[in-house]
Amino acid sequence: MYNSKIIGLGKYVPENIVTNSDLEKLMDTSSDWIIERTGVEERRHVVKGDGNGTATMGVKAAKIALERASLKAQDIDFIVFATMSPDYYFPGSGVLAQELLDIPDCPALDIRMQCSGFVYAISTADQFIKTGMYKNILVIGSEYQTGGLDMSTRGRNISVIFGDGAGAVVMTRTENNQEGVLSSHLHTQGKHAEELSLIGPSTRRWVPEIITKNDPEDISYYPNMNGQFVFKHAVVRFTEVINEGLKKTGWSSDEIGLLIPHQANLRIAQFVQKKFGLSDDQVYNNIQRYGNTTAASIPIALTEAWEEGKVQPGTKVVLAAFGSGFTWGSVMIQW
Ligand code: ACO
Protein backbone atom coordinates (compact mmCIF):
# COMPACT_ATOMS: atom_id res chain seq x y z
CA MET A 1 0.00 0.00 0.00
CA TYR A 2 1.18 3.48 -0.86
CA ASN A 3 0.37 6.82 0.73
CA SER A 4 -0.69 9.79 -1.37
CA LYS A 5 0.77 13.27 -1.07
CA ILE A 6 0.21 16.67 -2.65
CA ILE A 7 3.11 17.86 -4.81
CA GLY A 8 1.61 20.82 -6.66
CA LEU A 9 -1.08 23.42 -6.00
CA GLY A 10 -2.72 26.14 -8.07
CA LYS A 11 -5.65 28.52 -8.05
CA TYR A 12 -7.51 30.74 -10.45
CA VAL A 13 -10.15 33.35 -9.69
CA PRO A 14 -11.88 35.60 -12.24
CA GLU A 15 -10.58 39.18 -12.39
CA ASN A 16 -13.99 40.76 -11.80
CA ILE A 17 -14.23 41.84 -8.14
CA VAL A 18 -17.74 42.41 -6.77
CA THR A 19 -17.74 44.32 -3.49
CA ASN A 20 -20.50 44.52 -0.94
CA SER A 21 -21.16 48.09 -2.10
CA ASP A 22 -21.72 46.74 -5.62
CA LEU A 23 -24.36 44.39 -4.22
CA GLU A 24 -26.05 47.24 -2.32
CA LYS A 25 -26.89 48.68 -5.75
CA LEU A 26 -28.64 45.46 -6.83
CA MET A 27 -30.60 44.47 -3.73
CA ASP A 28 -31.72 45.65 -0.32
CA THR A 29 -28.64 44.76 1.70
CA SER A 30 -25.75 46.49 3.43
CA SER A 31 -22.04 45.88 3.64
CA ASP A 32 -22.31 45.95 7.44
CA TRP A 33 -24.95 43.19 7.42
CA ILE A 34 -22.91 41.00 5.07
CA ILE A 35 -19.64 41.44 6.99
CA GLU A 36 -21.24 40.95 10.40
CA ARG A 37 -23.14 37.78 9.41
CA THR A 38 -20.71 36.18 6.96
CA GLY A 39 -17.32 37.95 6.98
CA VAL A 40 -17.43 38.41 3.18
CA GLU A 41 -16.08 41.75 1.93
CA GLU A 42 -15.81 40.95 -1.76
CA ARG A 43 -16.04 38.01 -4.13
CA ARG A 44 -15.21 37.23 -7.76
CA HIS A 45 -17.89 36.89 -10.40
CA VAL A 46 -17.37 35.48 -13.87
CA VAL A 47 -18.48 38.03 -16.46
CA LYS A 48 -20.51 36.33 -19.15
CA GLY A 49 -18.34 36.01 -22.24
CA ASP A 50 -15.00 36.45 -20.45
CA GLY A 51 -14.03 32.89 -21.37
CA ASN A 52 -14.32 31.56 -17.84
CA GLY A 53 -16.42 28.53 -17.09
CA THR A 54 -16.25 25.73 -14.58
CA ALA A 55 -13.94 23.52 -16.66
CA THR A 56 -11.80 26.36 -18.04
CA MET A 57 -11.16 27.89 -14.61
CA GLY A 58 -10.37 24.44 -13.23
CA VAL A 59 -7.87 23.88 -16.03
CA LYS A 60 -6.19 27.25 -15.39
CA ALA A 61 -5.68 26.26 -11.75
CA ALA A 62 -4.59 22.75 -12.80
CA LYS A 63 -1.88 24.06 -15.15
CA ILE A 64 -0.29 26.00 -12.28
CA ALA A 65 -0.49 22.94 -10.02
CA LEU A 66 1.12 20.77 -12.72
CA GLU A 67 3.96 23.23 -13.26
CA ARG A 68 4.66 23.38 -9.52
CA ALA A 69 4.61 19.57 -9.41
CA SER A 70 7.11 19.56 -12.32
CA LEU A 71 4.78 17.28 -14.26
CA LYS A 72 3.26 17.50 -17.72
CA ALA A 73 -0.48 17.08 -18.15
CA GLN A 74 0.24 13.81 -19.93
CA ASP A 75 1.82 12.42 -16.72
CA ILE A 76 -1.63 12.46 -15.09
CA ASP A 77 -3.34 9.07 -14.81
CA PHE A 78 -6.72 10.19 -13.47
CA ILE A 79 -8.72 13.41 -13.04
CA VAL A 80 -11.11 13.93 -10.13
CA PHE A 81 -13.25 17.02 -10.66
CA ALA A 82 -15.41 18.38 -7.83
CA THR A 83 -18.15 20.87 -8.66
CA MET A 84 -21.78 21.66 -7.98
CA SER A 85 -21.95 24.03 -10.95
CA PRO A 86 -20.97 21.80 -13.91
CA ASP A 87 -20.71 23.27 -17.39
CA TYR A 88 -23.41 20.89 -18.61
CA TYR A 89 -26.13 18.80 -16.99
CA PHE A 90 -24.17 15.98 -18.63
CA PRO A 91 -21.41 15.07 -19.33
CA GLY A 92 -19.45 16.22 -16.31
CA SER A 93 -16.81 18.94 -16.23
CA GLY A 94 -14.05 16.37 -15.67
CA VAL A 95 -14.24 15.17 -19.26
CA LEU A 96 -14.08 18.77 -20.49
CA ALA A 97 -10.96 19.30 -18.37
CA GLN A 98 -9.45 16.12 -19.85
CA GLU A 99 -10.02 17.46 -23.36
CA LEU A 100 -8.67 20.94 -22.53
CA LEU A 101 -5.57 19.44 -20.92
CA ASP A 102 -5.11 17.14 -23.92
CA ILE A 103 -4.45 13.97 -21.93
CA PRO A 104 -5.53 11.22 -24.34
CA ASP A 105 -8.09 8.80 -22.84
CA CYS A 106 -7.31 9.84 -19.27
CA PRO A 107 -10.25 8.80 -17.05
CA ALA A 108 -12.10 11.66 -15.40
CA LEU A 109 -14.55 11.42 -12.53
CA ASP A 110 -16.95 14.14 -11.38
CA ILE A 111 -17.66 14.48 -7.67
CA ARG A 112 -20.96 16.12 -6.76
CA MET A 113 -20.72 16.70 -3.05
CA GLN A 114 -21.11 20.49 -2.99
CA CYS A 115 -19.12 22.25 -0.24
CA SER A 116 -17.62 18.92 0.82
CA GLY A 117 -16.67 18.17 -2.79
CA PHE A 118 -12.96 18.78 -2.46
CA VAL A 119 -12.62 16.72 0.71
CA TYR A 120 -14.47 13.86 -1.01
CA ALA A 121 -12.28 14.30 -4.10
CA ILE A 122 -9.01 14.13 -2.13
CA SER A 123 -10.25 11.07 -0.27
CA THR A 124 -11.25 9.40 -3.55
CA ALA A 125 -7.88 10.15 -5.18
CA ASP A 126 -6.13 8.88 -2.06
CA GLN A 127 -7.86 5.49 -2.35
CA PHE A 128 -6.82 5.07 -6.02
CA ILE A 129 -3.22 5.95 -5.17
CA LYS A 130 -3.13 3.74 -2.05
CA THR A 131 -4.10 0.65 -4.02
CA GLY A 132 -1.54 1.41 -6.73
CA MET A 133 -4.14 1.74 -9.49
CA TYR A 134 -2.99 5.25 -10.38
CA LYS A 135 0.24 7.10 -9.66
CA ASN A 136 -0.47 10.77 -10.45
CA ILE A 137 -3.92 12.23 -9.93
CA LEU A 138 -5.14 15.74 -10.68
CA VAL A 139 -7.81 16.89 -8.24
CA ILE A 140 -9.77 19.99 -9.23
CA GLY A 141 -12.44 21.99 -7.38
CA SER A 142 -14.09 24.61 -9.57
CA GLU A 143 -17.30 26.62 -9.45
CA TYR A 144 -19.04 29.10 -11.69
CA GLN A 145 -22.11 29.59 -9.54
CA THR A 146 -22.88 33.31 -9.62
CA GLY A 147 -24.51 33.17 -13.07
CA GLY A 148 -27.36 31.16 -11.55
CA LEU A 149 -28.04 33.26 -8.45
CA ASP A 150 -31.05 35.46 -7.79
CA MET A 151 -29.38 38.87 -7.55
CA SER A 152 -32.56 40.60 -6.39
CA THR A 153 -33.57 41.21 -2.75
CA ARG A 154 -35.49 37.90 -2.88
CA GLY A 155 -32.23 35.95 -3.19
CA ARG A 156 -30.02 38.09 -0.92
CA ASN A 157 -29.55 35.50 1.84
CA ILE A 158 -27.65 33.33 -0.68
CA SER A 159 -26.32 35.63 -3.39
CA VAL A 160 -24.18 37.75 -1.04
CA ILE A 161 -22.28 34.67 0.16
CA PHE A 162 -21.21 32.88 -3.03
CA GLY A 163 -18.38 33.52 -5.48
CA ASP A 164 -16.61 31.88 -8.44
CA GLY A 165 -13.14 30.38 -8.73
CA ALA A 166 -11.06 27.23 -8.91
CA GLY A 167 -8.26 25.42 -7.16
CA ALA A 168 -6.35 22.26 -8.02
CA VAL A 169 -3.77 19.93 -6.59
CA VAL A 170 -1.56 17.19 -8.04
CA MET A 171 -1.30 14.08 -5.89
CA THR A 172 1.23 11.32 -6.27
CA ARG A 173 2.27 8.14 -4.51
CA THR A 174 4.85 7.92 -1.76
CA GLU A 175 6.27 4.83 -0.12
CA ASN A 176 6.70 6.74 3.14
CA ASN A 177 3.56 5.94 5.14
CA GLN A 178 4.35 8.70 7.65
CA GLU A 179 3.67 11.47 5.11
CA GLY A 180 0.83 12.68 2.92
CA VAL A 181 -2.84 11.86 3.52
CA LEU A 182 -2.95 9.93 6.78
CA SER A 183 -6.71 9.59 7.01
CA SER A 184 -9.98 10.90 5.61
CA HIS A 185 -13.47 10.85 7.11
CA LEU A 186 -16.64 11.22 5.07
CA HIS A 187 -20.31 11.51 6.02
CA THR A 188 -23.72 12.34 4.56
CA GLN A 189 -27.22 12.85 5.93
CA GLY A 190 -29.68 12.91 3.03
CA LYS A 191 -32.72 13.63 5.15
CA HIS A 192 -31.71 17.30 5.06
CA ALA A 193 -31.17 17.36 1.29
CA GLU A 194 -33.71 20.09 0.64
CA GLU A 195 -32.46 22.47 3.35
CA LEU A 196 -29.71 23.57 0.97
CA SER A 197 -30.54 22.63 -2.58
CA LEU A 198 -31.33 23.54 -6.13
CA ILE A 199 -34.34 21.40 -7.06
CA GLY A 200 -35.05 22.21 -10.69
CA PRO A 201 -34.33 21.64 -13.48
CA SER A 202 -33.86 17.99 -12.65
CA THR A 203 -35.61 14.68 -13.15
CA ARG A 204 -38.12 15.76 -10.50
CA ARG A 205 -38.59 19.10 -12.22
CA TRP A 206 -37.98 18.55 -15.92
CA VAL A 207 -37.44 21.71 -17.97
CA PRO A 208 -40.53 21.20 -20.20
CA GLU A 209 -42.68 20.97 -17.06
CA ILE A 210 -41.28 24.24 -15.72
CA ILE A 211 -41.71 25.94 -19.08
CA THR A 212 -45.23 24.61 -19.68
CA LYS A 213 -46.48 25.71 -16.27
CA ASN A 214 -44.66 29.05 -16.56
CA ASP A 215 -45.53 29.70 -12.90
CA PRO A 216 -44.01 33.01 -11.72
CA GLU A 217 -44.06 31.66 -8.15
CA ASP A 218 -41.87 28.71 -9.16
CA ILE A 219 -38.27 29.70 -8.42
CA SER A 220 -36.99 26.13 -8.00
CA TYR A 221 -34.25 26.94 -10.52
CA TYR A 222 -32.60 29.13 -7.88
CA PRO A 223 -30.70 27.68 -4.90
CA ASN A 224 -32.62 27.48 -1.67
CA MET A 225 -31.01 27.62 1.78
CA ASN A 226 -32.41 27.41 5.29
CA GLY A 227 -29.50 29.48 6.63
CA GLN A 228 -29.92 29.11 10.38
CA PHE A 229 -30.61 25.37 10.10
CA VAL A 230 -27.48 24.92 7.97
CA PHE A 231 -25.43 27.01 10.37
CA LYS A 232 -26.47 24.98 13.43
CA HIS A 233 -25.64 21.67 11.77
CA ALA A 234 -22.38 22.99 10.29
CA VAL A 235 -20.80 23.91 13.62
CA VAL A 236 -21.64 20.51 15.12
CA ARG A 237 -20.47 18.46 12.13
CA PHE A 238 -17.24 20.45 11.63
CA THR A 239 -16.37 19.79 15.26
CA GLU A 240 -17.24 16.08 15.11
CA VAL A 241 -15.35 15.34 11.94
CA ILE A 242 -12.20 17.20 13.00
CA ASN A 243 -12.30 15.29 16.28
CA GLU A 244 -12.65 12.06 14.30
CA GLY A 245 -9.46 12.90 12.38
CA LEU A 246 -7.58 13.88 15.54
CA LYS A 247 -8.56 10.61 17.17
CA LYS A 248 -7.48 8.55 14.16
CA THR A 249 -4.09 10.28 13.81
CA GLY A 250 -3.48 10.70 17.53
CA TRP A 251 -2.79 14.41 17.01
CA SER A 252 -3.77 16.92 19.66
CA SER A 253 -5.37 20.19 18.57
CA ASP A 254 -2.17 21.99 19.69
CA GLU A 255 -0.26 20.04 17.06
CA ILE A 256 -2.43 21.23 14.17
CA GLY A 257 -0.18 23.36 11.99
CA LEU A 258 -2.99 24.63 9.79
CA LEU A 259 -6.73 24.02 9.73
CA ILE A 260 -8.32 24.93 6.43
CA PRO A 261 -12.07 24.91 6.93
CA HIS A 262 -14.33 25.11 3.90
CA GLN A 263 -15.01 28.84 3.58
CA ALA A 264 -18.77 28.76 4.21
CA ASN A 265 -19.10 31.62 6.64
CA LEU A 266 -16.40 33.29 8.76
CA ARG A 267 -18.59 32.88 11.84
CA ILE A 268 -18.62 29.11 11.38
CA ALA A 269 -14.81 29.04 11.06
CA GLN A 270 -14.44 31.24 14.14
CA PHE A 271 -16.74 28.98 16.13
CA VAL A 272 -14.65 25.94 15.18
CA GLN A 273 -11.40 27.77 15.97
CA LYS A 274 -12.69 28.63 19.44
CA LYS A 275 -14.01 25.13 20.05
CA PHE A 276 -10.53 23.65 19.48
CA GLY A 277 -8.69 26.52 21.17
CA LEU A 278 -6.69 27.27 18.02
CA SER A 279 -4.67 30.46 17.52
CA ASP A 280 -5.21 32.71 14.49
CA ASP A 281 -2.00 31.26 13.00
CA GLN A 282 -3.49 27.77 13.08
CA VAL A 283 -6.55 28.58 10.94
CA TYR A 284 -6.61 29.88 7.38
CA ASN A 285 -9.51 32.00 6.15
CA ASN A 286 -9.91 33.94 2.93
CA ILE A 287 -13.70 34.11 2.66
CA GLN A 288 -13.30 37.88 3.14
CA ARG A 289 -11.90 38.10 -0.40
CA TYR A 290 -13.64 35.30 -2.28
CA GLY A 291 -16.91 34.48 -0.54
CA ASN A 292 -17.99 30.85 -0.49
CA THR A 293 -16.63 29.15 -3.61
CA THR A 294 -18.06 25.75 -2.62
CA ALA A 295 -15.83 22.90 -3.93
CA ALA A 296 -13.12 25.42 -4.86
CA SER A 297 -12.83 27.04 -1.45
CA ILE A 298 -10.43 24.56 0.18
CA PRO A 299 -8.01 24.25 -2.77
CA ILE A 300 -7.94 28.04 -3.23
CA ALA A 301 -7.23 28.53 0.49
CA LEU A 302 -4.70 25.68 0.59
CA THR A 303 -2.86 27.14 -2.40
CA GLU A 304 -2.75 30.62 -0.86
CA ALA A 305 -1.59 29.25 2.50
CA TRP A 306 1.17 27.30 0.72
CA GLU A 307 2.17 30.39 -1.31
CA GLU A 308 2.42 32.35 1.96
CA GLY A 309 4.74 29.72 3.42
CA LYS A 310 2.21 28.52 6.00
CA VAL A 311 2.43 24.94 4.78
CA GLN A 312 5.94 23.49 5.03
CA PRO A 313 7.35 19.98 5.05
CA GLY A 314 6.28 18.56 8.40
CA THR A 315 3.19 20.78 8.84
CA LYS A 316 0.13 18.93 10.09
CA VAL A 317 -2.71 20.13 7.84
CA VAL A 318 -6.40 19.51 8.51
CA LEU A 319 -9.00 20.06 5.77
CA ALA A 320 -12.64 20.09 6.92
CA ALA A 321 -15.91 20.78 5.17
CA PHE A 322 -19.66 20.79 5.58
CA GLY A 323 -22.34 21.54 3.04
CA SER A 324 -25.41 20.66 1.04
CA GLY A 325 -26.55 17.07 1.31
CA PHE A 326 -25.90 17.37 4.13
CA THR A 327 -22.34 16.21 3.54
CA TRP A 328 -19.26 16.66 5.67
CA GLY A 329 -15.74 15.36 5.97
CA SER A 330 -12.13 15.90 6.97
CA VAL A 331 -8.69 15.00 5.62
CA MET A 332 -5.57 14.80 7.81
CA ILE A 333 -2.34 15.51 5.93
CA GLN A 334 1.22 15.25 7.19
CA TRP A 335 2.92 17.60 4.72
N1 ACO B 1 -28.87 41.60 3.60
C2 ACO B 1 -29.67 42.13 4.53
N3 ACO B 1 -30.57 41.41 5.21
C4 ACO B 1 -30.65 40.09 4.94
C5 ACO B 1 -29.82 39.47 3.98
C6 ACO B 1 -28.91 40.28 3.29
N7 ACO B 1 -28.07 39.79 2.37
N8 ACO B 1 -30.14 38.15 3.95
C9 ACO B 1 -31.11 37.96 4.85
N10 ACO B 1 -31.41 39.12 5.44
C11 ACO B 1 -32.40 39.37 6.50
C12 ACO B 1 -33.47 38.32 6.56
O13 ACO B 1 -34.50 38.58 5.62
C14 ACO B 1 -33.96 38.47 7.98
O15 ACO B 1 -34.84 39.57 8.04
P16 ACO B 1 -36.10 39.55 9.03
O17 ACO B 1 -35.52 39.43 10.42
O18 ACO B 1 -36.75 40.87 8.76
O19 ACO B 1 -36.90 38.37 8.64
C20 ACO B 1 -32.69 38.84 8.73
O21 ACO B 1 -31.77 39.32 7.75
C22 ACO B 1 -32.06 37.70 9.48
O23 ACO B 1 -32.01 36.56 8.62
P24 ACO B 1 -31.40 35.21 9.09
O25 ACO B 1 -31.51 34.23 7.96
O26 ACO B 1 -32.00 34.82 10.40
O27 ACO B 1 -29.89 35.64 9.32
P28 ACO B 1 -28.69 34.81 9.88
O29 ACO B 1 -28.09 35.49 11.02
O30 ACO B 1 -29.05 33.36 10.04
O31 ACO B 1 -27.64 34.91 8.70
C32 ACO B 1 -26.82 33.51 6.93
C33 ACO B 1 -27.96 34.37 7.43
C34 ACO B 1 -25.60 34.40 6.74
C35 ACO B 1 -27.22 32.90 5.60
C36 ACO B 1 -26.48 32.43 7.97
O37 ACO B 1 -27.65 31.76 8.38
C38 ACO B 1 -25.51 31.41 7.50
O39 ACO B 1 -24.37 31.70 7.18
N40 ACO B 1 -25.91 30.15 7.43
C41 ACO B 1 -25.00 29.11 7.01
C42 ACO B 1 -24.94 29.09 5.56
C43 ACO B 1 -23.79 28.25 5.14
O44 ACO B 1 -22.85 28.04 5.83
N45 ACO B 1 -23.85 27.75 3.99
C46 ACO B 1 -22.67 27.01 3.63
C47 ACO B 1 -22.93 25.85 2.99
S48 ACO B 1 -23.11 26.29 1.37
C49 ACO B 1 -23.03 24.83 0.50
O50 ACO B 1 -22.84 23.77 0.98
C51 ACO B 1 -23.32 24.96 -0.94
Residue 242: what pLDDT? 98
Q: Verify that 192 and 234 share a domain, yes or no.
A: yes
Residue 212: what pLDDT? 87
Instruction: Please state the φ and ψ torsions of residue 313, each to the nearest 5 degrees.
Output: -50, 130
Instruction: Please state the φ and ψ torsions of residue 17, each to the nearest 5 degrees.
Output: -90, 130
For the whole model, what pTM was predicted?
0.97
Q: How confident is the model at residue 68 (pLDDT cuts 50, 70, 90)?
A: very high
Q: Verify that 211 and 151 share a domain, yes or no.
A: no
Q: Is 3 one of the annotated active-site residues of the chain?
A: no
Q: Verify that 97 and 130 share a domain, yes or no.
A: yes
Residue 246: what pLDDT? 98
Q: Verify that 193 and 313 share a domain, yes or no.
A: yes
Mean pLDDT score, 62-72: 98
Residue 211: what pLDDT? 84
Give the residue whose CA is nearest to atom 36 of ligand 1. 227
The secondary structure of residue 87, as a DSSP letter, is S
Q: Which residue among 3, 20, 52, 115 is the active-site one?
A: 115
Given 116, 139, 174, which residue is the final one in a domain?
Answer: 174
Mean pLDDT score, 17-43: 98
Asked if residue 116 has its Cβ within 6 Å of ligand 1, the reply is no
Q: Verify that 167 and 56 share a domain, yes or no.
A: yes
Q: Verify that 122 and 162 share a domain, yes or no.
A: yes
Closest Cα to residue 232, out of 268, 190, 277? 268
Domain with 97 in it: 3-174
Q: How confident is the model at residue 205 (pLDDT cuts 50, 70, 90)?
A: confident
Residue 69: what pLDDT? 98
Give the residue whose CA is nearest to atom 15 of ligand 1. 157
Q: Contacts by 107-112 with C-beta closer than 8 Å and gap 24+? A: 107/77, 107/78, 107/79, 108/78, 108/79, 108/80, 108/81, 109/78, 109/79, 109/80, 109/81, 110/81, 110/82, 110/83, 110/86, 111/80, 111/81, 111/82, 111/83, 111/295, 112/82, 112/83, 112/84, 112/86
Q: Contacts by 48-51 with C-beta closer than 8 Å and gap 24+? A: 48/147, 50/14, 50/15, 50/16
Q: How confident is the model at residue 331 (pLDDT cuts 50, 70, 90)?
A: very high
Q: How confident is the model at residue 189 (pLDDT cuts 50, 70, 90)?
A: very high
Number of domains comprising the chain: 2
pLDDT at residue 283 tops 90: yes
Residue 200: what pLDDT? 85
Residue 266: what pLDDT? 98
Asked if residue 212 has its Cβ within 6 Å of ligand 1, the reply is no
CA-CA-CA-CA torsion sign (18, 21, 27, 32): positive
Q: Verify that 224 and 107 share a domain, yes or no.
A: no
| CB count in 10 Å sphere of residue 205 | 15
**145-160 confidence digits (pLDDT tens):** 999 999 999 999 999 9
**157 C-alpha to center of ligand 1: Å?**
5
Residue 61: what pLDDT? 99
pLDDT at residue 20 tops 90: yes
Q: Verify that 157 and 9 share a domain, yes or no.
A: yes
- CATH code of the domain covering residue 313: 3.40.47.10
The rounded Cα 24 to chain-centroid distance in angstroms is 26
**118-175 confidence digits (pLDDT tens):** 999 999 999 999 999 999 999 999 999 999 999 999 999 999 999 999 999 999 999 9
**213-268 confidence digits (pLDDT tens):** 888 888 999 999 999 999 999 999 999 999 999 999 999 999 999 999 999 999 99
Q: Verify that 132 and 11 share a domain, yes or no.
A: yes
